[in-house]
């Protein structure tokens, strides 16, 4: 009985130490720094949607801040610097049914430049792309808010994983 309690206590202690040291989190992220500057992500796509940049930027910031112990600072003296732009916002036909469109697809791409000032091997510049399909009998405007939120969540996850989980 004492041996079981000792192992349980030791296991709990290891979990507490690893989760509080700032190097490892339960998301699998290895984060050594304390601060990040997530710049406003401008919309440079051909199709300008007024809500896209603020929605995506906020989703990205919230994903990083909620899944790490990093603090957002608007400074050039942070441990990490993330900036970029939305490069594509396109609606295309995803599938055709009897010579008419059955589904349409909204695709969003973002170019991200990530600087890891603690370990330059973590630096990257990459385009991330995600899409969502919607019924062709719906207009893009009728589903736009929902799709932007859905795709922004997916892109934010991809960027977080690339920057901190190193997949």
Residue 133 pLDDT = 95
Q: Report the alpha-carbon distance of residue 16 to residue 10 in Å, rounded.
A: 10
pLDDT digits (tens, 9 = 90+) for 83-100: 999 999 999 988 777 666
Structural domains present in the chain: 1-30 (no CATH), 33-165 (3.30.160.150)
Q: Report the alpha-carbon distance of residue 111 to residue 126 in Å, rounded.
A: 6
SS3 (DSSP) at 109: strand
**DSSP one-letter string for 77-102:** -SSEEEEEEEEEEEEEEEEEETTEEE
pTM of the entire predicted model: 0.80
SS3 (DSSP) at 67: coil
């Amino acid at each position: 009985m004492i041996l079981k309690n000792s192992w349980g206590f030791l296991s709990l202690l290891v979990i507490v130490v690893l989760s509080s040291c700032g190097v490892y989190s339960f998301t699998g992220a290895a984060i050594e720094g304390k601060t990040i500057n997530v710049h406003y992500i401008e919309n440079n796509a051909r199709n300008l949607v007024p809500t896209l940049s603020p929605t995506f930027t906020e989703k990205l910031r919230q994903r990083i801040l909620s899944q790490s112990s990093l603090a957002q600072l608007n400074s050039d003296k942070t441990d990490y610097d993330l900036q970029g732009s939305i490069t594509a916002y396109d609606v295309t036909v995803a599938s055709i049914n009897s010579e008419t469109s059955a589904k349409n697809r909204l695709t969003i791409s973002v170019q991200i430049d990530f600087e890891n000032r603690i370990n330059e091997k973590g630096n990257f510049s990459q385009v991330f792309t995600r899409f969502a399909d919607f019924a062709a009998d719906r207009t893009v405007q009728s589903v736009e808010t929902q799709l932007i939120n859905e795709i922004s969540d997916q892109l934010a996850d991809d960027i977080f994983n690339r920057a901190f989980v190193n997949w």
